[in-house]
Amino acid sequence: MKKGLLIILSGPSGVGKGTVRQELFKDESLNLSYSISMTTRKPRPGEVDGVDYFFVEEDDFKERIHNDELLEYAQFVGNYYGTPKFHVDELLEQGKNVVLEIEVQGALQVMKKCQDALTIFLVPPSFEELERRIRGRRTESEDVVKERLDKASKEIATKDEYKYVVENDDVLAAKDAIAKIIRNHV
């Protein structure tokens, strides 16, 4: 069976990666599977362990780094985030196109290891709009919001490392643009 495509969907916090991803997953013809990440961040209201993330303690995360169980990992605004290797390999072998929704440092690690990966960076229509979206989430303190905004401008500066840059002005338009890119690669 033909191996699946590894797809990295990246972009600054608040750009709407999760929403665009959900729209993409409604299109069954794209044959997508989501790689559930591991994090030491505490769950936000409504987030479910094993669905949104595998929520773990820092000791557990560090042990997995030590045992080389992660395809990539990064520290982001005080927490660890990483992609468990085993699940990704298994899904690719099954011919699934696997989506990693990850931040920039992790994406750069995967690009080095898997040069065939399809890499897509989502940008906001403007920085003001990004700030509005991050503040609109209302689940984080002012300090964390500021840190995420500062991080976002640094992340946007790396967009040229990606094969494709897609603007998320309208969710469905961004979804259509990405679906087209995926179809051209499978």
Exactly one of 56, 82, 108, 121 binds ligand 5GP (CB under 6 A); that residue is 82
| Paired strand residues for 7 | 99, 118
> Buried (b) or exposed (e) across 27-40, using 16+ Cβ within 10 A?
eeebebbbbbbbbb
Exactly one of 6, 16, 24, 83 binds ligand 5GP (CB under 6 A); that residue is 83
Query: Nearest approach, Cβ of 52 to ligand 5GP (angstroms)?
Result: 8
168 counts as binding ligand 5GP under rule CB under 6 A: no
106 counts as binding ligand 5GP under rule CB under 6 A: yes
Q: Residue type for 119, please?
A: T
Choose the binding region for ligand 5GP from 87-95, 103-111, 114-122, 172-180 (rule: CB under 6 A): 103-111
Chain centroid, CA 34 distance in Å? 10
**DSSP alpha helix (H) spans, the chain:** 17-26, 58-66, 85-93, 104-113, 127-136, 142-156, 171-185
Exactly one of 103, 120, 166, 168 binds ligand 5GP (CB under 6 A); that residue is 103
80 counts as binding ligand 5GP under rule CB under 6 A: no
Phi, psi values for residue 155, rounded to 5°: -65, -40
Dihedral sign for Cα 14, 44, 34, 91, please: positive
- Token pair for residue 102? 């990850």
64 counts as binding ligand 5GP under rule CB under 6 A: no
| Paired strand residues for 100 | 8
Exactly one of 6, 7, 33, 37 binds ligand 5GP (CB under 6 A); that residue is 37
Are the beta carbons of 180 and 163 closer than 8 angstroms? Answer: no
101 counts as binding ligand 5GP under rule CB under 6 A: yes
76 counts as binding ligand 5GP under rule CB under 6 A: yes
Cβ distance to ligand 5GP smaller for residue 83 or 119: 83
Query: Nearest approach, Cβ of 145 to ligand 5GP (angstroms)?
Result: 12
Query: Nearest approach, Cβ of 26 to ligand 5GP (angstroms)?
Result: 20
Task: Return all residues near 79 (Cβ < 8 A) that are at least 6 apart.
Answer: 39, 40, 41
Interacting residues toward ligand 5GP by CB under 6 A: 13, 17, 37, 41, 72, 74, 76, 81-83, 101-103, 105-106
